[in-house]
Amino acid sequence: MIIHAASLHKAFGRHEALQGLSLSVPEGSAYALIGANGAGKTTTIKVLMNIIEPSRGAATVLGVDSRRLSPREFAQIGYVSENQDMPGRLTVGQYLEYLRPFYTTWDRDLERSVLLQMRLPIERRIRDLSHGMRLKMALACALPFKPKLLVLDEPFSGLDSLIRDEFMERLLHQAGDMTIFISSHELAEIEGVVTHVGFIDQGRLLFQESMTELSERVREVRVTLEKPAAAPNRVPEGWVQLTVEGNVLSFVDTRFKDDHLAGSVAALFDGIRNIDVRPIALRSIFTTLARAARNGGV
The three-state secondary structure class of 43 is helix
Report whether 150 contacts 194 (CB < 8 A).
no
pLDDT at residue 291, as a whole number? 74
Distance CA 135, CA 58 (A): 30
The domain limits of the chain are 3-214, 219-279
The pLDDT value recorded for residue 186 is: 67
Which pLDDT value is given to residue 170? Answer: 65
Other residues' Cβ atoms within 10 Å of the Cβ of residue 97: 12
- Looking from the CA of 202 toward its CB, the CA atoms found within 13 Å total 4
Report the alpha-carbon distance of residue 64 to residue 4 in Å, rounded.
10
What is the crossing angle of helices 161-174 and 108-118, to 10°?
160
Q: Which CATH entry fits the domain spanning 3-214: 3.40.50.300, 3.40.50.720, 3.50.50.60, 3.40.50.20?
A: 3.40.50.300
| pLDDT of the residue at 85 | 87
**SS3 for 105?**
coil
pLDDT 10s digits, 204-240: 998 898 988 888 889 999 999 988 888 888 888 889 8
- Identify the pLDDT of residue 163: 66
Distance, in Å, from the CA atom of 33 to the CA atom of 12, rounded to the nearest integer, reads 21
Q: What share of the chain is helix, strand, coil (3-state, %, to 5)?
A: 35, 30, 35
What pLDDT sits at residue 57?
Answer: 95
Residues with pLDDT less than 70, the chain: 156-161, 163-164, 166-176, 186-189, 293-298
CA–CA gap between residue 173 and residue 28 (Å, rounded): 14
